[in-house]
Amino acid sequence: MTQSILFQHGTLAMLADGLFDGTITLKELLKKGDTGIGTAEGLDGELIILNGIAYQAKADGTVVQPDEDTLIPFANVHQWDPASEVDLNQCSTSDIMGVIEAEHLTNTMVGLTVAGEFDMVKTRAVKKQNKPYPTLAKTASEQAVFQKNSISGMLVGYYTPGLYEGMGVKGLHLHFISEDHQFGGHVLDFEVVSGELAYQAFSDFQLHLPVDNKDFMTYEPTALDDVKADIKQAE
Amino acid sequence: MTQSILFQHGTLAMLADGLFDGTITLKELLKKGDTGIGTAEGLDGELIILNGIAYQAKADGTVVQPDEDTLIPFANVHQWDPASEVDLNQCSTSDIMGVIEAEHLTNTMVGLTVAGEFDMVKTRAVKKQNKPYPTLAKTASEQAVFQKNSISGMLVGYYTPGLYEGMGVKGLHLHFISEDHQFGGHVLDFEVVSGELAYQAFSDFQLHLPVDNKDFMTYEPTALDDVKADIKQAE
């Protein structure tokens, strides 16, 4: 049987309910893949993982390389091994979705990167929250939003079918890191001038839950429909 | 990090939309665990896997041991290694849920078996469907329902948090096999006189999707809320 694995630590639903404790080290996470996205304890910025190196785009606009002991509440990683590469010109989100649809990959998870020249990239980074943690929706008012024009860099992220909404982000979930590693974040919008889309569909999805974390094991989850509304507000 | 894996092939949502093709062999499935439940191609009966041996409870009331080449559309398996065992007396579904709740395991997947004497077990088995396959809800009218009183045997199954509804069966999903392996099926109701509940919480959930199956990759999924209504009707 075909095997290619997407690893996920934690759930988006858990973040929606304010469970921001880090429950896996970056070191452990990187054993599961060399490419991915996530966040750090307290929703401290936006993680981008490329070639086995993690970058953390913070709410103050800086990008740092976090220590391997950094604790992570939520992340996705995989081994970068694209099945296909496509040249892109003058494209945006809908064009990437168009490729996934044309290739009949909408019913499984897909990992993707877009390397190239961007006309515009609009990102956000959440500010580190402290205990008692607020809900995800409430952090939205404290996020920093950035926009850069004419920038080289890379989008990294995933497509997730609607069936898995709540466990993860439905549709495209992309982070960005500039070529000079000085700018990045969770992508709100972008325009590619020219670039290359590389993607791979996953046969396997491995969800790892923080079963040793008492807060996670004992919390009463908000109903999924409410979680979806919260996520929409936070995006 | 703690690791104990529940393996799943296929999704319940896929079955709800009538995708009953077998897409993994029993032989491959058994490499992922020695205990579990599932169904065979065309929804041909109810599978119970114990000690690495699969039993197929069919709609005609017989139980057979399927060939290792049998194709499976949907199944869950794990390595039986219970963390806890509890004596049960005069109990039913709500008592098992009571243990899972008291142990704070409701936010992760749990595998469980109940071995013992049953006052009553009511099961169903779906009749093998042929192409073009109907939806899961439509097969409900063709399922056989059985009831046995005073029978020794074992419940095998899983607890799944509501977040994962549609991917799997929310709450308890149990199959039964009698001690003499002559009676079994998907459990609709039961009463334990005396028995032992053995359970284990999973840190990891591995979902394997049939990405080589064209019907799966190209189908247009029904909206999740409609899937949930269909599942309720089929249960």
Three-state secondary structure string covering chain B: CCCCEEEEECCHHHHHCCCCCCCEEHHHHHCCCCEEEEECCCCCCEEEEECCEEEEECCCCCEECCCCCCEECEEEEECCCCCEEEEEEEECHHHHHHHHHHCCCCCCCEEEEEEEEEEEEEEEECCCCCCCCCCHHHHHHHCEEEEEEEEEEEEEEEEECHHHECCECCEEEEEEEECCCCCEEEEEEEEEEEEEEEEEECCEEEEECCCCCHHHHHCCCCCHHHHHHHHHHHC
Whether the Cβ atoms of residue A59 and residue A125 lie closer than 8 Å to each other: yes
Alpha-carbon dihedral of residues B27, A203, A84, B19, nearest 10 degrees?
Answer: 90
Q: Any idea what the Cα angle at residue A54 is, between residues A53 and A60, rounded to 5°?
A: 140
Q: Phi/psi at A10 (nearest 5 deg)? A: 80, 180
| Secondary structure (DSSP) of A38-77 | EE-TTT-SEEEEETTEEEEE-TTS-EE---TT-EESEEEE
Task: Name chain A contacts of B30, Cβ cutoff 8 Å.
Answer: none
B200 pLDDT band, cuts 50/70/90, is very high
B2 pLDDT band, cuts 50/70/90, is low
> What mean pLDDT do residues B174-193 have?
97
Interface contact flag, A161 B221, Cβ < 8 Å: yes
Chain B within 8 Å of A225 (Cβ-Cβ)? no
Task: Name chain B contacts of A163, Cβ cutoff 8 Å.
Answer: 11, 13, 166-167, 221, 224
DSSP, res A89: E
Cβ neighbours of residue A24 closer than 8 Å, sequence gap 6 or more: A9, A10, A71, A72, A75, A208, A210, B1
The Cα–Cα gap between B7 and B109 comes to: 11
The Cα–Cα gap between A124 and A145 comes to: 4
DSSP, res A132: S
Give Rg (Cα) of chain B.
Answer: 17
Chain A within 8 Å of B207 (Cβ-Cβ)? yes
- Centroid of chain to Cα B207: 15
pLDDT of residue B140: 78
Nearest beta carbon to residue A13 from set B108, B163, B202: B163
DSSP, res A80: -
Chain B within 8 Å of A7 (Cβ-Cβ)? no
B58 pLDDT band, cuts 50/70/90, is very high
Indicate whether A88 pLDDT > 60: yes
Q: Which two tokens stand for residue A203?
A: 């046969």
pLDDT of residue A225: 79
Task: Name chain A contacts of B203, Cβ cutoff 8 Å.
Answer: 208-209, 211
The Cα–Cα gap between A87 and A116 comes to: 10
Chain B within 8 Å of A53 (Cβ-Cβ)? no
For B144-183, what is each residue's pLDDT tens digit? 999 999 999 999 999 999 999 999 999 999 999 999 999 9
pLDDT of residue A234: 67
The residue among B159, B208, B220 with the most chain A CBs within 10 A of its CB, best to mutate, is B208
The Cα–Cα gap between A195 and A92 comes to: 11
Whether the Cβ atoms of residue B140 and residue B124 lie closer than 8 Å to each other: no
The Cα–Cα gap between B33 and B5 comes to: 9
> What mean pLDDT do residues A71-91 have?
96
Indicate whether A1 pLDDT > 70: no
> What mean pLDDT do residues B135-147 have?
87
The Cα–Cα gap between A93 and A112 comes to: 12
DSSP, res A126: P
Task: Name chain A contacts of B219, Cβ cutoff 8 Å.
Answer: 107
Interface contact flag, B163 A221, Cβ < 8 Å: yes
Nearest beta carbon to residue B104 from set A11, A104, A218: A218
The Cα–Cα gap between A135 and A100 comes to: 32
Chain A within 8 Å of B107 (Cβ-Cβ)? yes
Closest CA to B96 of B180, B226, B187: B187
Indicate whether A227 pLDDT > 80: no
Indicate whether A194 pLDDT > 90: yes
Domains and CATH numbers, chain B: 5-234 (3.30.1330.80)
Task: Name chain A contacts of B28, Cβ cutoff 8 Å.
Answer: 1
Q: Enter the ipTM.
A: 0.95
**How many CB pairs lie under 8 A apart between chains A and B?**
93
Those of residues 153-192 in B touching chain A at CB distance below 8 A are 161-167
The Cα–Cα gap between A55 and A45 comes to: 10
Q: Which two tokens stand for residue B204?
A: 């990891």
> What mean pLDDT do residues B42-47 have?
96
DSSP, res A26: H
Chain B within 8 Å of A30 (Cβ-Cβ)? no
